[in-house]
Every structure is written in C-alpha cells, then in structure tokens.
Structure 1
C-alpha cells in the first residue's frame, strides 16, 4: 500500500510538468500524452527501482521521450517499407462502380456493412461471419438481407446522391 501511495504522490506532483516538457520536445500534445502515459505505466511496474533513481521524474521524462521517438521511427519505417514495396508497381485505377459501391456502403448501418463486406467481398459463409462477429447466424442473415436492401436503394438511385451531387440512375 505504501508503494501505491508513494507512486500516486509522485505522479500527482510531476505528471503535468513532465507532460509539458515532453510536449515542448515533441510539438504534439497527443503524442506527448500517449508517451507520458506509457512512461508512467512503466515507472509503476518498476517502481521499486525507479524510486531509487537520482530523479524518478527524469527517468519518466527520458522514457516518455524514447517511447515517442520509437513510435515515430516505427511510423517512418512503415512509410519507407510501403514506398519500397510500391516502387515500380502499377496501381490499377479505381472504377466508377467501385467508388459508387464504397459510397453506398457508407450509407448503411455499420453491422450491415460489416456483414456485407465479410460475405460478398471476403467470401465468408454466414456461419463464419457469425463466429467472427460473435452474432447469431440468424442475426447475420438479417443484417445481410437488410444491408442488401439498403445498398439497392442507394445503387438504384432512389434518392442517392453521389459526391458530385448527381443522382444515380436518373
């Protein structure tokens, strides 16, 4: 109990200051908040060691900065890997039908959209969708039926407007 009280006091007295410092170093409050939260979580899990440091606050600040830099490096490496992989590959143009279908999917409820995509685009059976979504198979069937009806309304032009403002099927 003493450890928790001691850590709570440390956190209460230093968290805002550390957040401000890490924010100033990173330039992004969101990234700073995430990194500082992770650093305090790590400090708590190692509190018996961290409390013995010359400055537990400096330890947290250093860890927070390292967490943020690590996340930044991972993001940069993902972008670089994506660019390497995409270099020299031709990207097929997106068809008008694809754009219209994606637009129509956005207009039906989330669970119906999920069922439609899993069944018609991924190729899962009703039983597989039920297992993946933890829904009853009859619920999946209902979502598929209602989703198809909703898509039909948008794809046949019954009041559906494209992003360009023109009605489909008119």
Structure 2
C-alpha cells in the first residue's frame, strides 16, 4: 500500500497546479475550484490502481473535474444567492485589457458545455478528437460548441474593449 500512496502523492505534487487551473476555468471561482480539485483527487485515489493500469491518468482526472463540476452546478444550494438585503454590490472598475479577469468574466457567461470545450481546446491545447473523447461527444459537437463559444467571447470582448487580438472590429 505504501507504493500506491507514494505514486499517488507524486502524481498530485506534479499535477495539482494544472488541475487547479482547469477547475478554475471550468467554474470561475477559486474556492469552488479548490473544492472540485479535492473531490477529483479523492475519486482518483479510490480508482488509482485501475486508472494507472489503464494508462491515461490525466484524461481520467480531467473527466472527474468536468463531471464533478456538473454535479456541483446541479445542487440546489449552489443556485442560491447570498442575502444582502440593503447592501448593494460595489461596482468594479472595468478591467485593463492586459488583465485576464476580462477573459475569465467572458468565459463565465458561456454555457457549461461551451466553456468545457474552450477550456479543453484552448487552455489545455487538446485536439478536437481528444476533446470529444474526454467529453464523450462527437468531434462535430466539439467544433460547433467551439465556434459558438469563440463567437460569443469575441462579441463580449469587442463590446467591452472595442478590439480583440489587437485589431479593431
């Protein structure tokens, strides 16, 4: 049992930062992302011997993150808004173009399916076929979700800044 723990600990030490980034991109909240990573690591530890034999630990971990994110978003208490009677939320100044928070805000407006495709394709650099395999859908679905998501992101960022990618639109 010691080598199992050592192997798992080594994997976590190597991949925790990447898992945290993926989780954050999926949910858009640091605290929820940490919860997703913890849930994913727990599930991964339970399945560790089987996953290691299968050989693609990273794909399995990503799939756990995606599924856990879906599960958490469906829970009723996640949809409740905090009670701030009498208090207005402070209006934040618009972010600078260099600030990645503008992209994160735009990403958060995408439907979850489109957000998953964008994260896997563009933030992790996965191919269309790899993304389709991870999400259990067809490559055509990945392409259409990607096209819709990029069009939406372009429209949002153009409306906010007037330019996207250094070009006027």
TM-score w.r.t. the length of structure 1 is 0.42
Could you say which structure has the larger radius of gyration?
1
TM-score w.r.t. the length of structure 2 is 0.43
Of structures 1 and 2, the one scoring higher in RCO (CA 8 A, sep 6+) is 2
